[in-house]
Amino acid sequence: MHSIFEIGEIHQINERLWQVELLSTINNDKRMTELTDYIRQHTTKSETHPWFRLAELFLQMGHHDEAEGILQQFADFCLTYAPDSMSYAKCLHGLGLTQQLQGDFSKALSLFEQALQIYTIPDKFRATVYNDLGKTHFSVGNYSTALLNYKKSLEILETIIDSDLRPLILCYAYIGETYLRLGKARDAQFYVKKAIAIGQKVFPSVHPHLAIWYTLMGEAYRMTADFTNATQFYEKALKIKEKYLPPDHVELGHTLSELGLLNEKLNNYSSALSYHEKALQIRNKSLSSNHPDL
């Protein structure tokens, strides 16, 4: 059994040194233990080539240049000896992810399209590429095109019999979020509800994905002026975020602020004031004194 710690407070000692206070949770928080076990299981279980796993690790650590270097070497090899192979398509997809994460969305789109041209079998990998095409279009505000790609991914995923339901769940959530950005709150609710219904059975109860989807549902209900349901979902999101985020994280401040506004709509002024005060405390800690959000 590995020890599990929660980040308490972070203090800057000097320009290059930070002090991080860790709080042990292994003895008193079963849900965090479940979350850690889940993450460990799904980051070590892989049948892909070691080069891809190493590149994925670098991407998760934020070392995009190292990931790109590994993938480019493998891509050059595949281009010479197996230009029509799935391995080459995976290299192009991986390189697209590095460009996406570095903000070069045009190059990312080009690499994803090349991967689709090479690998045409309608399986989980092709669905993944469509999904990443959708995410890239979403990032630049092309919501209608993003939706088309997400639905191509969904069309494949719904025909696959697989014990791993995570890609399907995420696709539902992405479609719901895209409908939300298009101003179609009812459609958004339909797909995010699907993600939540399956996700609650698959993911640990404090998984960050659930917090994101609860927030999306809250936003969708707020758009339809259903402030009671909106409040309930934002509260669910807050409970999870308080588990995995530092106590002064800006994201917590945003959620508290939304809850304050929703309680104002419901005429719960005492609760609204409490949420706004907590949000302000976090913003005072995390933002400079002249920041426009204060």
Give the tens place of pLDDT for each residue, 33-66.
Answer: 555 554 455 544 445 677 777 787 777 777 888 8
Quick one: tokens of 95? 């390189």
Ramachandran sector of residue 103 (left: φ over 0; alpha: ψ -120 to 50; beta: rest): left
pTM over 0.85: no
Range of the domain at 7: 1-45
Q: Is residue 198 situated within a structural domain?
A: no
Averaged over 272-285, what is the pLDDT?
94
- Tell me: the pLDDT tens digits for 126-141? 999 999 999 999 999 9
Q: Are 36 and 4 in contact (CB under 8 A)?
A: yes
**Segment 14-24, tens digit of pLDDT:** 444 445 566 66
11 assigned to some structural domain: yes
C-beta separation of 168 from 142 below 8 A: no
Place of tokens 């010479």: 80
pLDDT tier at 234, thresholds 50, 70, 90? very high
Q: Please say whether the beta carbons of 100 and 113 come within 8 A.
A: no
Top-confidence residue, 14 or 245: 245
State the pLDDT at residue 7.
47
Distance CA(84)–CA(269), nearest Å, equals 63
Domain-located, residue 39: yes
Please name the residues in contact with 161: beta carbons below 8 A apart, sequence gap of 6 or more.
none
Number of domains comprising the chain: 1
Does residue 38 lie in a domain region? yes
Q: Answer yes or no: are the C-beta atoms of 108 and 136 closer than 8 Å.
A: yes
Per the domain annotation, does 214 fall within a domain? no
What integer best gives the mean pLDDT of the chain? 86
Does residue 31 lie in a domain region? yes
Instruction: For residues 15 and 10, give the distance between their C-alpha atoms in angstroms, rounded to a whole number.
Output: 14
Please give the pLDDT value at position 85.
86
pLDDT value of position 21: 60
The pLDDT of residue 288: 57
Q: Does residue 15 sit within a domain?
A: yes
pLDDT at 27: 52
Residue 37 lies in a domain: yes
